Structure 1
Amino acid sequence: MGAPSDRPLIGVSTYWEAAARWGVWELPAALLPAGYPRLVQAAGGLAAMLPPDEPSLAESAVARLDGLVVAGGPDVAPERYGAEREPRTGPPAPERDAWELALIRAALASGTPLLGICRGMQLLNVALGGTLVQHLDGHTETVGVFGEHAVKPVPGTLYGSLVPEVSSVPTYHHQSVDRLGKGLVPSAYAEDGTVEAVELGGGSWVLGVQWHPEMGTDGRVMSGLVGAARG
């Protein structure tokens, strides 16, 4: 994996919760499921948590990073892509939306390698002018339980070069890409035709996956990000 000095710094966006409980404490907290930093570490990176902050600080934050992961989480506010809220859309997370959109735009502007996971893929699409399907059946099996389904890579894409075969992935989402953002191309599909990965062409390392690699055992996507960050 390389010496500590060789390990690129990978920022990972986090939840901002009004109350969390551990030990004898119940306090506001910045949270990140352990699978994210463990996946970064297993791929040879140093993980740094990025809790919501002033969007104007995103450029400065990204300038300190070698790579960026925008993590999964709550539904993106439909107002962010010019849609009316539908009944099954979850409650808004305005601080995360604003911060993570600013992080994505800063990463795109600076050429910082970027991986969006689930919500992160959806935000990448929205940041580039795309829209979302607000409810999709069949990609969440049970509330609070990750499911699994197959995704098929598109040959010749960045994702296809990392994972060239059909693979089974951990999944938990009820929204998906509708209209693609500017410059994005699909790089994997589910069996029902849902776009499961998107990426930006032009030689940049910008990838979004709709599933949760941090909940599985396949580290190839994160290894690709860390490799690009090291380079």
Structure 2
Amino acid sequence: MTPLIGLSTYRETARWGVWDQRADLLPSQYAEAVVACGGVPVLLPPVVTVGAADVAVARLDGLVISGGADVDPAAYGAEPHPRTAGWRPDRDAWELALLTAAAAAGLPTLGVCRGMQLMAVHAGGTLDQHTPDLVGDDRHSPGGDAFGAVAVRTEAGSRLAGLVGEELRVNCHHHQSVASHPGFAAAARADDGTLEAIEAAGDRFCVAVQWHPETAADVGLLAGLVRAAAAYRS
């Protein structure tokens, strides 16, 4: 009864061996964390076929909407900020379709970084397109391939608090953040007030965080998803 966990992926130009071409990829830490928590990972590259998301979700026990590029501002009715760049309409469409299918099926779902932003947008919410404009520094995304170490406090009584505790330091790499999130409750904030997690009410596991739990030794979030996926499967 090992649960199958879908992981959405990038579609980018990549180089390996003698090849330099378009590839569907994801940092291996995601899959490794799922395996460490007792799940079996499967990668979900962007698919444009109508109904493909329903087919995928019907075979999954849990879903992770992974980190990645900025969400297209048009998806939430905004003009691009000068620092908003590199959005991927094919990935946006695919992951929004996955979220719709997952909600209909009651599938346990975890959003990571961009995944949290997309889950808010899917629910009709909006984003702050450049968080440094609000907080005055780059602590949430120091640049390059570095993570920012950010202190967060979870909301008492939240599902998230039950998974990771009241306070923790997390690895962040986001220059955007969630401004509004209809249907979700705020579940954690950074010490500068930035919203760092949201979750849906009810029995379904539907949680999203701005940080990268797959990079940390404490994989409480992914362990919680895998447990929920096992229960869903059974």
| TM-score, normalised via structure 1 length | 0.95
Point out where structure 2 has 5 or more consecutive residues left out of the alignment: 133-137
Aligned to 2:68: 73
The yes-or-no answer on 1:36 pairing with 2:37 is: no
Aligned to 2:135: none
The yes-or-no answer on 1:191 pairing with 2:191 is: yes
Output the amino acid matched with 1:223.
A
Aligned to 1:53: 47
1:62 counterpart (52, 57, 65): 57
Residue 49 of structure 1: how far off its partner (Å): 0.2
Residue 56 of structure 1: how far off its partner (Å): 2.7
Percent identity for Structure 1 against Structure 2: 51
Aligned to 1:128: 123
Point out where structure 1 has 5 or more consecutive residues left out of the alignment: 1-5
Q: Distance in 2 between matches of 1:79 and 1:15?
A: 20
Q: Distance in 2 between matches of 1:142 and 1:57?
A: 35
1:12-62 alpha-carbon deviations (Å, 9 max, x no partner): 000011x21111111211011011001111110000000000253101111
| TM-score, normalised via structure 2 length | 0.93
Q: Distance in 2 between matches of 1:189 and 1:147?
A: 15
Is the Cα–Cα contact under 8 Å of residues 198 and 207 in structure 1 kept in the other structure? yes
1:105-154 alpha-carbon deviations (Å, 9 max, x no partner): 11111100000000000000000000000001231123221121111010
Aligned to 1:176: 177
The yes-or-no answer on 1:94 pairing with 2:70 is: no
Aligned to 1:10: 5
Q: How many residues align?
A: 224
Is the Cα–Cα contact under 8 Å of residues 20 and 27 in structure 1 kept in the other structure? yes
Root-mean-square deviation (Å): 0.9
Bigger shift: residues 125-134 or 136-145: 136-145
Output the amino acid matched with 2:77.
G
Q: Distance in 1 between matches of 2:178 and 2:87?
A: 18
Q: Distance in 2 between matches of 1:51 and 1:142?
A: 26
Bigger shift: residues 140-149 or 81-90: 140-149
Displaced runs of 4+ in structure 1, greater than 3 A? none
Aligned to 1:3: none
1:146-186 alpha-carbon deviations (Å, 9 max, x no partner): 121111010111101111221010110000000112x1001
